[in-house]
Structure 1
Amino acid sequence: MEREAVDRRPVWLWGAAFFVGMFGAGLMARALQFGTVASMAVMVPPMLLLIPFRRATERAQGACGSLSPATRRYNRRAMAWSFAYMVLLFVAIAGAKAGANGALLWLLAVLPALPILYLLWAMARYLVEETDEYLRMRVVTAALWATGLLLGLATLWGFLETFRLVPHVAGWAAIPVWAIGLGLGSAFVRWRER
């Protein structure tokens, strides 16, 4: 039991560093009114924290016997979509600010969604590739928690927005909320198993 706590500590530290880094960099870029290129540069270091975060996660999964080949493949696919999302989001923003219009603007608007579609495929692929039913069920349970959180928050916010009590939130905010819910759901599943 003590070994598990020691092995998971770096996961929480790297996860917290990534979370604080991303929000901190975003808030700093907005507060200091950085341009597109400067905003991109500020967001790169927190994104690089995903690399040690993934490694620490895999070490912790290996230490408790829950690191399967399917999990390794999913983790690498998740890294790919994360970095692709960041790059394509900044390409889209830069293109729109440069004055793109017509069909090019439509293409730029769709670009950041493509890695999200890849993420959905990667998750479905994981569920097909994972041969361990217990590990598969843990991921499904975490995903259900994430979906419940997203649906609950979206419903609550939607009613508050309808009555003009809160500002409008763009639909793309769903994926970060769901991802946070997935992390919280995974933590809850691990906590419940103790």
Structure 2
Amino acid sequence: MTDTTPKVRKPVIPWFGAMFASIIGMAIFLDQSGIDDPLIANGLMLIPILFLVKAGMNAMHNAGSRGAVGSPARNYLKRMVIVSVGYVGSLFAATALIDDGDPITVLSVMIAIVPGLAVAGYFYAIGRFMIEQQDEFLRMLMVRQSLIATGLSLSAASVWGFLESFGQVPHVDAYWWPIVWFFGLGIGALINKLAYGTTGDCA
């Protein structure tokens, strides 16, 4: 006998909110605590990843409850999990193997570039999701969400860059701007919810 009981949807956005809040909290804590060991610092930054994993698991549950219609979302979330594992692993490897003042070699460059390539993998996963998504409305929501994130992150990078060039603010490493972009995805999802009553396929 087939179980026709509808699966209860699990919350996703609150866990994303907890992730972004913890990122900000960890950044402030590391800045104020004076911890300069990169291995410890990166270890503490694993806390936001735990919230991200929970959000991903809930989203996969929600996508799975929709059967074949939810297949693109499941594929997307699987790619995101794989990329996340690659990112965290490569970041720890680079932190452990490369010390400040070490000479630049082909090997050190190869090790240092992997976390950046893992971040690029997130964008690939999002792009593949848009391609595989057959529902035009849901695809529009994802495109709209991504455009909002892009506008927010590039605007923030431009404003901060000019402030920095004129000596008004401290230097910010470039890898923070993709983080702003992902934060922008959350903003885009909220705007979609307010405008259309739904955040899309993965929330």
Question: Distance between the aligned counterparts of 1:68 and 1:179, measured in 2?
Answer: 22
Q: Please tell me the residue identity of whatever aligns with 1:175.
A: P
What corresponds to 2:201 in structure 1?
none
Compared CA separation, residues 171 and 127, structure 1 to 2 (3 A): same
Question: 1:101-138: CA deviations, max 9, x gaps?
Answer: 31122112211111122222212211211111111110
What corresponds to 1:3 in structure 2?
none
Question: Distance between the aligned counterparts of 1:71 and 1:143, measured in 2?
Answer: 15
Does residue 142 (structure 1) correspond to residue 145 (structure 2)? The answer is yes
Gaps of 5+ in 2: 1-7, 198-203
Question: Distance between the aligned counterparts of 1:186 and 1:112, measured in 2?
Answer: 26
Does residue 41 (structure 1) correspond to residue 43 (structure 2)? The answer is yes
What corresponds to 2:71 in structure 1?
69
Does residue 161 (structure 1) correspond to residue 164 (structure 2)? The answer is yes
* Contact in 1 for aligned 2:63/2:71 (Cα 8 Å): no
What is the TM-score of this pair, normalised by structure 2? 0.78
What corresponds to 1:55 in structure 2?
57
What is the Cα deviation at residue 25 of structure 1?
3.6
What is the Cα deviation at residue 36 of structure 1?
3.6
Structure 1 or 2: more helix by fraction: 1
What corresponds to 1:16 in structure 2?
17
Aligned length: 187
What is the TM-score of this pair, normalised by structure 1? 0.81
Q: Please tell me the residue identity of whatever aligns with 1:46.
A: P
Compared CA separation, residues 28 and 89, structure 1 to 2 (3 A): same
What is the Cα deviation at residue 181 of structure 1?
0.6
